[in-house]
Amino acid sequence: MANPEQVTSTKRIYKGRVIGLRIDTIKMADGTVSERAIVEHGESVCIVAIDENDVVVLVRQYRLAAGQHLLEIPAGSMEPNETPLEAAQRELREETGRLASKWEKLGGYYAAPGYTAEFLHLFLAKELSKGPDDQDEDEDVEVETHALNSIPSMIANGTIRDAKSIAGLLQVIHGLGTLK
């Protein structure tokens, strides 16, 4: 399938520590000219961490854009020269104070491809143990644990409303086959 949109010009609006914003002028296959606002964000990782008792480790943190505290799986941006696995291990340690001795890459997905190219690498972390508490200074994260079998109802009733968390948790639940 041919690319139906060709970028004819790009205007950089903003470049910050975490994101950038650009406006791309595009020419569509039928000749129509339009604009696309693109949020530039590097690759990220997200982790479904489950202990030996099928308890999931989640984090609750205030999200300014949503205007509320959200319950999420641990996640974060990759650092330069960091592999997805290294980033996942770091983020799990920083956000939850936990280490995992078993890691499995489960694939990944685009966060919101309508306006950003951010790609999230999804990992399953098992055989958890307590690690150092080295939470980032700019994060206020509260760690919560919930039984894996309670996750579908938490998604259904809106307790978990973050898309990456819903996607990751449901993928793990489906892949583990622990819930009927």
pLDDT digits (tens, 9 = 90+) for 105-154: 999 999 999 999 999 999 999 999 998 877 666 678 999 999 999 999 99
What pLDDT is recorded for position 1?
73
- pLDDT (0 to 100) of residue 136: 66
At 13, is the pLDDT very low, low, confident or very high (cuts 50, 70, 90)? Answer: very high
- List active site positions: 137
15: which strand partners?
A: 20
Average per-residue pLDDT for the chain: 93
φ, ψ for residue 148, nearest 5 deg: -55, -40
Q: DSSP secondary structure string, the chain? A: ---SEEEEEEEEEEE-SSEEEEEEEEEETTS-EEEEEEEEE--EEEEEEE-TTSEEEEEEEEETTTTEEEEE--EEEPPTT--HHHHHHHHHHHHHSEEEEEEEEEEEEES-TTTB--EEEEEEEEEEEE------TT--EEEEEEEGGGHHHHHHTTS---HHHHHHHHHHHHHHT---
CA 124/CA 169 separation, integer angstroms: 9
- Domain spanning 44-106+119-176, CATH architecture: Alpha-Beta Complex (3.90)
**What is the pTM assigned to this prediction?**
0.90
What percentage of the chain reaches a pLDDT higher than 90? 87
Q: What is the pLDDT of residue 180?
A: 36
Please name every residue paired with 70 in a beta bridge, in sequence order, or none if there are none.
Answer: 61
**pLDDT above 90 for 36:** yes
Which pLDDT value is given to residue 176?
66
Q: Where are the chain's structural domains?
A: 5-41, 44-106+119-176
